[in-house]
Structure 1
Amino acid sequence: MSQRIDLLASIANTIQDYRNGSLPQPIPEHVDRWVQQFDAAVQLPILQEIDHVLKKIYFSKEDVAKFLRGAMRTAKLTGDRPDRFWRSANFLDIQGGGSSQTDMLALFSEQLEDEHGFGIDDCGQGDEVFIYLDDGIFTGNRVRRDLENWIRDHAPAQAKVHVICIALHSGGQYYAGGKIQDAIRASRKSIGITWWRAVELEDRRAKSTTADVLRPTVIPNDPAVQAYVAAMKYQPTLRTAGNPGTANLYSSDAAKILLEQEFLKAGVRIRQICPNLGDTQRPLGHMTLETLGFGSLIVTYRNCPNNAPLAFWVDAPWYPLFPRTTNTQTAVRRMFADLGGDL
């Protein structure tokens, strides 16, 4: 029992600043209530592996600030006069949904003020360098659409765009990068794109053997999961057991397999008890393509992406470890703020 108590406390401590100010601070009882929704035999192993993984890929506010400070000081990005580089840079605030870019810009401005004595409102003195900040690149659709529109309607004839994010998934970058290059060619503008990240995770289908996202090795012998898979138009891509991934996130392949199996079963169950979930909310996370789900375990202090397994974030009647703010909720709050109200 003491090991369980220690793990509950450790996980709560790791995620203690999750949505700080808008949610009660996570405590061991919160983690315990979440894990009790799984079969008793797997609760301790789940806690052990979630504790291990979150210590690697939960990004607290201080973790994000540290990454931004590091990017700010990267000579390969800024050259030998970082103060001059940042004063000339233009910061894009063009995200079509959510508030992650706005929040990241505010945090970057704070770090810039500490480092150089000026914030992003004092930047933009040049007309060639542009900065696109976000917390993560998952499927790549958001950054693709944002930059496609900007390139077509607002970008100058010549520009350098630096995409800076905490977590980047290889497949999402590959997809978005190709679409963005198509948009550049169509615009007949000269625009270069460079990607910067704190961590890169493998999620490409062709690299399933070494995937860092959750991608099951077998379909569990569970009637509900078997029925869900049987109803899919295309059978899911499975990974070969033996390699837990390139980023060294998991304690072992066996531990990763446990999460894949249990989160898949839980995700199918959640879809049954939460009928308002859309078709793209797959058991292992949001994905437009028909798969078992995206399967990312990245979470930041700001929010949990919907590309994470449903077991992480779906609300009542399921109890989430990471209650999520949706883009719709963010838009409503912005509307009320614009009208002088509050929610």
Structure 2
Amino acid sequence: MIVAQALFVQKPGYHGSLDNGSIVALITTGSEIYMNERAALIQRLLAIISDYRAHDRHPPDVEHVEKWLSQFPEDSALNVLKELVGVLEKSYFSKARVISEFANLVENPHFVGNNPAQYWKSASLLDIQKGGNSQHDLNELISSKISEKFGVVPAVNAVGAPDYYYTRKSYSI
């Protein structure tokens, strides 16, 4: 059974009667609406997650998200996508926000004391993630902020450092 929905849109700037082509009718089947909603959600998801992976050899695309969605039963996939987009739109830390937070963190006296440059000469970032590159990528972000602000390149995995920083990013799409 195909259920059709019609949406009537008055042409911009027209304030006359409903005849003579003043109304544009868009008629779609239920499955087309479903696919349009799914496609729109995928585009919203890609807009959210792409900032960290823009320079990947294979950044996420529609095919990548569709492949990820294929692990769910077809009748659940749209709801999973809706929920994921909703959660990420409320809680996702963009790359720009993370860089801003790192910029504040690397000089925060509660973490680094009163002499941040000296602190970062002895502290070490940890790069111990097995598989994936997210920890390495985040270490590059924080390291660039430290270098930019203090002219110091922090050690990574230094043995005997007085303090270690473990960075972690998690998402599985």
Range of TM-score over shorter length = 0.5 to 0.7
After TM superposition, give the deviation of residue 84 of structure 1 in Å. 3.4
Structure 2 residue 114 is the aligned partner of structure 1 residue 80 = yes
Q: Find the aligned partners of 2:134 and 2:63 in 1 and give their Cα distance.
A: 29
CA separation of 1:23 and 1:54: change in aligned 2, threshold 3 A: farther
Segments of 5+ residues of structure 2 without an aligned counterpart are 1-32
Cα root mean square deviation, aligned = 3.3
One-letter identity of the residue aligned with 1:91: S
Kept after mapping to 2: 8 A contact 1:8/1:47: yes
Structure 2 counterpart of 1:91: 124
State the number of aligned residues.
135
Kept after mapping to 2: 8 A contact 1:14/1:54: yes
3-state SS of the aligned residue for 1:132? strand
Kept after mapping to 2: 8 A contact 1:8/1:29: no
Structure 2 counterpart of 1:16: 50
Q: Find the aligned partners of 2:60 and 2:129 in 1 and give their Cα distance.
A: 30
The structure that has the greater radius of gyration is 2
After TM superposition, give the deviation of residue 120 of structure 1 in Å. 1.7
Q: Find the aligned partners of 1:93 and 1:9 in 2 and give their Cα distance.
A: 34
Q: Find the aligned partners of 1:94 and 1:109 in 2 and give their Cα distance.
A: 12
User: Which runs of structure 1 show a deviation greater than 6 angstroms over 4 or more consecutive aligned residues?
Assistant: none
CA separation of 1:4 and 1:128: change in aligned 2, threshold 3 A: closer
CA separation of 1:133 and 1:40: change in aligned 2, threshold 3 A: closer
One-letter identity of the residue aligned with 2:89: K
Q: 1:106 aligns with which of 122, 137, 140?
A: 140
Structure 2 residue 64 is the aligned partner of structure 1 residue 35 = no
Q: Find the aligned partners of 1:97 and 1:130 in 2 and give their Cα distance.
A: 21
TM-score, normalisation: structure 2: 0.58
3-state SS of the aligned residue for 2:59? coil
Structure 2 counterpart of 1:130: 163
Kept after mapping to 1: 8 A contact 2:129/2:135: no
Q: Find the aligned partners of 1:67 and 1:75 in 2 and give their Cα distance.
A: 14
One-letter identity of the residue aligned with 1:24: H
1:312-333 Cα shifts (integer Å, max 9, x gaps): xxxxxxxxxx3xxxxxxxxxxx
Q: Find the aligned partners of 1:54 and 1:78 in 2 and give their Cα distance.
A: 31
After TM superposition, give the deviation of residue 63 of structure 1 in Å. 4.0
Kept after mapping to 2: 8 A contact 1:104/1:133: no
Segments of 5+ residues of structure 1 without an aligned counterpart are 137-297, 305-321, 323-343
